[in-house]
Amino acid sequence: MAERATRELISQLDREVGYKIDPLPRKLYRAMDLLRSSRSLRPLARKLARSLAKAASTYAEVRGELAANEEQGTGWWEWVNRDDERVRRSHQNHPIGVGRTVRRVGTLFANGCRYPRDPLGPVGEVVECRCRTRPVLPPTGGPGEGGEGGGSGGGGGSAGDGPGGDDDRWRRELRAERASQLRVVGEAGVRDQLRRIRSQTPPRGWAPYHRRRHGGRLGAETDEEYLRLVMQHKRRPNLRYFTFLRARDRARMWYVADEETGNVLQYNESQKRDWSFFRPRDLNSFLGSGRGWWIEIKKRGPRWEFDEEW
């Protein structure tokens, strides 16, 4: 009886995950009670408890990762797996699974998920998933061009079936354009821009939206705490500065990263204001997503210089 009721309940949860959030915790508690009532099912109860705890702990991380990708502004992302023996078959690299395939943000990958650990995706694709997304440039045409038709290389078929072949080319072109802009303003112009980023206060009304999106991972429960962390971040020593052109509109953007805290400030030079402040799940992976696209500004002695090879 307990086993049959448990199977029915889990089937119901499978159908409702991501759609009816409020009743979900009560049903999970019922499922746990039913599992514990049967001695043969207690190991399953423990496994379910571990999975639920892990899912709860990664929820904020997923939201932060998605927000950070969204703020890079490409509108496209790539499914990236851990590339080890634990990767499930459906998440392995294309053509076996969805790994290294590209999709427009908000559309489904071939496994039925919009992104790794998607709460609306099939349970078997979501539970204990360790994958992430990486923002990439459009797989066909230039930034903002192309559409759902045509994969990498400009042929037919669904968008992004397989790795985005044009991604490296567009990264190089955007980086070259940004490098040209930096040469025009020169070292003095770069130094002045960095001074503005460090001294400027966020615009009025900016904090509530960004604190709701990112405050949880930063430990900021109020708008005031969030703003205080922003200004403290700007005064931190040994910050790393990256600048790039946003793909969809070529806005001049900056990332100011602190490797000690893992926090990142995003600044919009085109609009002359702070854009966001967040803590990515993995700072090294986040910075790695800009390789070949962003330009790092480094201080060598008294001078600020940039490295086109980042």
Provide the 3-class DSSP secondary structure of residue 275: strand
193 and 95 fall within a common domain: no
Within a domain: residue 203? yes
Alpha helices in 140-288 (DSSP H): 167-199, 207-218, 223-234, 283-288
Which of 87, 116, 135 lies at the terminal end of a domain, its last residue? 135
**Phi, psi (degrees; rounded to nearest 5) at 306:** -125, 150
Within a domain: residue 81? yes
Q: Which two tokens stand for residue 84?
A: 């080890």
User: Parallel, antiparallel, or unpaired for β 303-307 and 252-257?
Assistant: unpaired
28 and 94 fall within a common domain: yes
Within a domain: residue 124? yes
**Burial of 22 from C-beta contacts in 10 A (0-12 / 13-18 / 19+):** exposed
pLDDT for 68 equals 66
pLDDT for 81 equals 92
In this predicted structure, the answer to whether residue 18 has a pLDDT above a threshold of 60 is no
pLDDT for 306 equals 81
pLDDT for 177 equals 93
* Higher-scoring residue by pLDDT: 196, 141: 196
Q: Rounded CA gap, 48 and 53, in Å?
A: 9
Contacts of 38 (CB under 8 A, 6+ apart): 2, 3, 6
60 and 129 fall within a common domain: yes
Grade residue 159 by pLDDT with cuts at 50, 70 and 90: very low
Q: Rounded CA gap, 143 and 166, in Å?
A: 10
Listed range (3-7, 158-162, 227-231, 240-244) with the worst mean pLDDT: 158-162
211 and 298 fall within a common domain: yes
User: What is the domain extent for residue 107?
Assistant: 23-135
Q: Rounded CA gap, 75 and 208, in Å?
A: 24
pLDDT digits 0-9 by tens, 25-74: 555 656 666 666 666 666 776 776 666 666 655 565 666 667 666 666 67
Kind and range of the H or E element at 191? helix 167-199
Alpha helices in 97-166 (DSSP H): 123-126
In this predicted structure, the answer to whether residue 190 has a pLDDT above a threshold of 70 is yes
What's the rounded mean pLDDT across residues 13-33?
51
Listed range (156-170, 244-258, 267-281) with the worst mean pLDDT: 156-170
pLDDT digits 0-9 by tens, 263-309: 999 999 999 999 999 998 888 888 888 888 899 999 888 888 886 54
Q: Rounded CA gap, 201 and 120, in Å?
A: 38
What is the DSSP secondary structure assignment for residue 265, as one 8-state letter? E
What's the rounded mean pLDDT across residues 104-128?
85
pLDDT for 308 equals 58
pLDDT for 230 equals 98
In this predicted structure, the answer to whether residue 92 has a pLDDT above a threshold of 50 is yes
Burial 134-148 (b: 16+ CB within 10 A, else e): bbbbbbbeebeebee
Grade residue 180 by pLDDT with cuts at 50, 70 and 90: very high
